[in-house]
Amino acid sequence: MKQLSDRKLLKDIEEHREMMIYLANTTSFSHPTVVDISTKLDLLLNKYEKSCSELIIK
């Protein structure tokens, strides 16, 4: 079950990263939408890092 959620998390991370890069290239890095996606990407990355660190601890 955890493996499926990690795969979904990685997919979400990649989608947010691609969208952020696309929007930053078509608008600017400081555009509110880019900042919002960047914030969401940070949260996803933190969640993935926490998930990975829990595996190492166990």
**Token digits of residue 6:** 């990690």
Q: How far apart are CA 55 and CA 38, in angstroms?
A: 26
Residue 51 has pLDDT above 60, yes or no: yes
Give one DSSP letter per residue of 11-27, joined into a string: HHHHHHHHHHHHHHHHS
Confirm whether pTM is higher than 0.95.
Answer: no
pLDDT in tens, 9-34: 999 999 999 999 999 999 999 999 99
